[in-house]
Amino acid sequence: MTSYGGNVTSASFYGCRVFIRDDDALPAVPAGTAVGTSWPGVKAHKARALTLTPAEPMRLQARGDGRTYATFVEPPTDTPSGELRTQAADIDLIELMTSVKDFGCNYRHMVPLASDKVGQESQVIIYAWRKAKDSDPNSDTYLQDMWETRIVLNANAAFQPDPMETDQLSEPRWSLVANSSSVDQYGQTMTEETHGCTEASFIMITSRYKIAYDVFLGNNSETEFTLSNGSATVNADANNPVLAYVDGELTSVTCDANGVVKFASPPADGAKIVIESAHTAS
């Protein structure tokens, strides 16, 4: 099998998608979504930046005789924070992330801001991606194109509209707080054995191709689920398998050239299905 380097040099920012975080810590599938229909989240249009700053550990200094003779390093008291910036006043994204509704019609869209929902917004999951190069000289793909993906597992987001200002482009932003999650993006409980930790705020992935997440609900009869990237799905590369998790359990599937994933037996009624796939779509 091809050896991909774990070291990458990344550049720019290509985009992100946002999901509401359900009670099971996985993306929520909107009511009325047909069984077998993918929910790939809401795309943040014209995304400009996603910044995440982990909290610093707490440092306690023991002092005596005019000097510090020991420093204790303890877990941080703060939570990682950051922001998502876009160059679009994206009504669909505002509606999703602030828990308000678009009450407009036709060519007029309206959403309330600074509402009584502030501080009560739904928690969200964000995954973002950017271009990279393999910078590991010992790998088989040295200097070839790679991708870096970051997944914020459990975020609170507050919308900050941009000012109306002469000679300035629109750039509304979302102030983010990245809470810890005891569950990863597949629905697996984090363990020392598998993850090396039991909680995390976000996850970084390096991969040969772009990564996509499609979420479905089972109904105890459907066995075929079509991925949102269709025929752009990488399905013939053993190094980049399609991974399907049903309620957090890795489940064997096959994927055809059209991006249709097939289970040997139908997932149970109401089962949460998360499928991670590589793809070549733009």
Mean pLDDT of 143-168: 93
Digit-coded pLDDT (tens) for 21-49: 999 999 999 988 988 899 999 999 999 99
Digit-coded pLDDT (tens) for 183-210: 999 999 999 999 999 999 999 999 999 9
For the chain, helix, strand, coil in percent to 5 are 5, 45, 50
Q: Look at residue 5 and tell me whether its pLDDT is greater than 90.
A: no
Contacts (Cβ under 8 Å, ≥6 apart) of 204: 148, 149, 150
Identify which of 188, 141, 179 has the alpha carbon closest to the alpha carbon of residue 157.
Answer: 179
Phi and psi of 230, rounded to 5°?
50, -125
Q: State the pTM of this model.
A: 0.91
The tokens for 233 are 């799905």
Phi and psi of 237, rounded to 5°?
-115, 110
Q: Where are the domains of the chain?
A: 8-55+74-209
Mean pLDDT of 104-130: 91
What is the helix (H) or strand (E) element at residue 93, kind and residue range? helix 91-98
Q: What is the pLDDT of residue 105?
A: 84
Q: Look at residue 78 and tell me whether its pLDDT is greater than 60.
A: yes
Q: What mean pLDDT, rounded, does the chain reach?
A: 92
Q: What is the pLDDT of residue 59?
A: 92
Q: Look at residue 6 and tell me whether its pLDDT is greater than 90.
A: no
Name the amino acid, one letter, at 35.
V
Question: Mapping DSSP to helix (H, G, I), strand (E, B) and coil, where does residue 230 land?
Answer: helix
Digit-coded pLDDT (tens) for 55-69: 899 999 999 988 999
Share of the chain above pLDDT 70, in %: 98
Share of the chain above pLDDT 90, in %: 78
Contacts (Cβ under 8 Å, ≥6 apart) of 116: none
Q: Look at residue 277 and tell me whether its pLDDT is greater than 80.
A: yes
Burial class (CB in 10 A: 0-12, 13-18, 19+), 212: buried
Identify which of 43, 22, 17, 20 has the alpha carbon closest to the alpha carbon of residue 248.
Answer: 22
Q: What is the pLDDT of residue 3?
A: 67
Residues 111 and 172 sit within 8 Å (Cβ to Cβ): no
Q: Look at residue 1 and tell me whether its pLDDT is greater than 90.
A: no
Mean pLDDT of 244-249: 96
